[in-house]
Chains A and B, each alone.
Chain A
């Protein structure tokens, strides 16, 4: 009986914490669908605010999607080979490089953004293009790609697998294509989802790097909350959720470890 009481207590506490986290989200989403937030849901539900967001901030949504995909492309091209080299050559130099890569995550985004502006701000064509934001996003997301690929590569005996492939006649490129890439697929997928999600939601750095013509979704969101009706800002949040939730769910699914299979010795 005592054990059951304890369980109920724990369950209650867990639900309370969940509610604490989830209720604001639901309220915020509801606010975006309410005719007048100050009167409440009794005032009726409407898609008007969502349409207003769509009409006014459509560009920011497309820019964010485009940016995150470009960011993914760049981190794939840079990150996967980097992880491969880091996995193959373990020495003082590569360990230092690995630490350096993580710096943009540790340093506040504002500081990174300021450094970029101070250094490249005078290149006006670059400063005003979305590529400027892309550079910031790549700096920030690259370590996540490298880390997740590296984690997978370190878990397999890459050197011997490659030697095995070489002994069968495979040169460097066939080996990379047939052995290295397929065996770090899990890491690449997990890293990709992470990069897209982070790039999509990045605000810190983007706030400083953007121009009025290169507003991303989170920047537009801050804009909407600061200058428009609360309902519009909330509707914007709703749109953001709808975009990011499928990504987060996919991330969860891929992050699950594959169960190891045990097979008993078979005699034939």
Chain B
């Protein structure tokens, strides 16, 4: 690949953003993005993830006192056109007055690259994104997935120092989203470029991110590798935003947690625990004559082929979600024994 530049390290220090109407979009934020890594900003809408991306891009300036550093150089007041970052927009922002090839070559033309070189680079991009046949099409003659490929090709064509993607797959249907997610993943790995990816879809975040920055109400809730975020969530918000979380309320005494559904031996339980959290894969339905301390009643069962998703009533506000691989039928009202792997237990 001819794109092997030195990847860019990005740092934000004390970056806050208050909009003209007084809305506080971002609380003061410090963040270091290592050269060559893919970082995903994840959170519900209005959490500040897009604002953070736009500050890095140069489309917004942080409030006074905030700084954006590219490889240690202060670029806070540099407009986007001088930052040399590639950007992919949710709505693609393709130019309707140009063909596909015109769009991809535009950044090079602006940089006054010779025509022959522009042509060569455009062909290379078209081939890489498998859209060579579309070179002369107008933008309104393209489907959503094709537009997405053109937008990616256009952003990469100028060999940017970093690639910024703002919810690039949100406008596409689910099946296409899965395909393109794989492609973007392999693209980012082959380019070795520093990439920042904004999404509200946790599956996308888990699949693409070297690290995930989970955001909530303009604050960073947690930064970590996907596995850390999933298995060791730092806050309740993170625990519930990513994946499914089960919850039991009760009390701990002498290494035994007691709740309405029964009791559970947990020698490492912190004192004063009133609530325990665990993922669906850490709980299972007892088999045969196995005796367990916890009992529940099946409220609903959905056979999914490889497993059965069970909702089990245990006297809590929410039923427990269990992914059972047992080779048996479940029906509404069945009494089941429940076993929980203590290694999966969390207290937040």
Which residues does A use to contact B, with CB under 8 Å? 156-157, 160-161, 163-171, 174, 178-179, 182-183, 185, 260-261, 263-266, 268
Is A167 in contact with B85, judged by CB distance below 8 angstroms?
yes
Please determine whether B97 and A167 come into contact, CB atoms closer than 8 angstroms.
Answer: no
Please tell me which stretch of B116-124, B136-144, B204-212, B225-233 contacts chain A, meaning at least 4 of its Cβ atoms lie within 8 angstroms of it. B136-144
Cβ–Cβ < 8 Å partners of B57 in chain A: 167
Q: Can you list 15 contacts pairing A with B, beta carbon distance less than 8 Å?
A: A156-B96, A160-B89, A160-B91, A164-B89, A166-B59, A166-B79, A167-B85, A168-B106, A169-B84, A169-B111, A179-B97, A261-B140, A265-B143, A265-B144, A265-B176
Q: Which of B93, B110, B141, B146 contacts A169 (CB 8 A)?
A: B110
When A157-B91, A160-B91, A178-B106 are in contact, do A167 and B140 touch as well, CB less than 8 Å? no
With A160-B91, A178-B106, A183-B97 known as contacts, the answer to whether A166 contacts B81 (CB < 8 A) is yes
Min C-beta distance of B56 to chain A, whole Å: 12
Between A and B, how many residue pairs show CB distances below 8 Å?
77
Complex interface: chain A residues within 8 A of B158 (CB)? 168-169
Interface centre among A157, A169, A182, A263, by most B CB within 10 Å?
Answer: A169
Task: Say yes or no: B141 contacts A164, CB within 8 Å.
Answer: no
Q: Nearest-CB distance from B81 to chain A (Å)?
A: 5
Q: Sort chain B's interface into a size bin.
A: 35 or more
Interface of B is mostly: mixed
| B93 contacts A157, C-beta separation under 8 Å | yes
Of B93, B107, B142, B146, the most chain A CB neighbours within 10 A belong to B93
Q: Considering the complex, give the chain B residue whose CB is closest to the CB of A169.
A: B110
User: When the two chains form their complex, are residues A265 and B85 in contact, meaning their CB atoms are under 8 A apart?
Assistant: no
Smallest beta-carbon distance A189→chain B, Å: 14
Of all chain A residues, the one with the shortest Cβ separation from B57 is A167
Contact with A along B62-84 (1 / 0, CB 8 A): 00000000000000000111101
Q: How far is the CB of B18 from chain A (nearest CB, A)?
A: 18
Docked CA distance A185–B98 (Å):
13
- Contact in complex: A265, B145 (CB < 8 Å): yes
User: In the complex, what residues of A have CB within 8 A of residue B106's CB?
Assistant: 165, 168, 170, 178
B143 touches A263 (CB 8 A): yes
Q: Which of B86, B89, B140, B154 sits near A260, CB closer than 8 Å? A: B140
What residue in chain B is nearest A157 (Cβ atoms)? Answer: B91
Give the distance in Å from the alpha carbon of A265 to the alpha carbon of B106 in the complex: 25
